[in-house]
Amino acid sequence: MTNKVRRDSPAPTPLEAPQGPALYRTSPGGARIEDRSTSWPSRRYLASLVHDWDGWMLTPRLGDGSHGPFSSAEAAFLWWLQHRDALPPSRRVWRNGDPWEPRDPDA
């Protein structure tokens, strides 16, 4: 869509991303929690939400297991905002802050 102005609004849509994590619907049965304000594309995706038989299930990025069921995607997002610091760390371990560190010469 090339027109960036809504028909019912004379103002153009904002181009800047919201600050911090936000909930984005990807399909009727799926959603993602992303932080589009970061400049690193690989760090934008934070968690996925899938509507399962029991309800909405939340799976953190590179985390172990799922959490839920929740009554709605918004409820799962609010739970994630409250508990994200207490969730276990991701399985991927970064050493020295650099994922591309040189190999160990002794190995």
Q: Which comes out higher in pLDDT, residue 2 or 47?
A: 47
**pLDDT of 71 higher than 90:** yes
Unique residue bearing structure tokens 């953190």: 60
Please, which pLDDT band fits residue 92 given cuts at 50, 70 and 90? Answer: low
Structural domain boundaries enclosing 40: 22-74
Please give the sequence-ordered ranges of beta strands (E in DSSP) within the chain, or none if there are none.
Answer: 22-27, 30-34, 45-51, 56-60, 67-70
What's the pLDDT at 6? 47
pTM: 0.65
The reply to whether 68 falls in a domain is yes
Q: Domains in the chain: how many in total?
A: 1
The reply to whether 98 falls in a domain is no
The reply to whether 41 falls in a domain is yes
The reply to whether 100 falls in a domain is no
Please, which pLDDT band fits residue 5 given cuts at 50, 70 and 90? Answer: very low
The reply to whether 102 falls in a domain is no
In 3-state terms, the chain is what percent helix, strand and coil (to 5)?
Answer: 15, 25, 60
What's the pLDDT at 89? 66
The reply to whether 93 falls in a domain is no
Vertex 100: Cα angle to 97 and 105 (nearest 5): 110
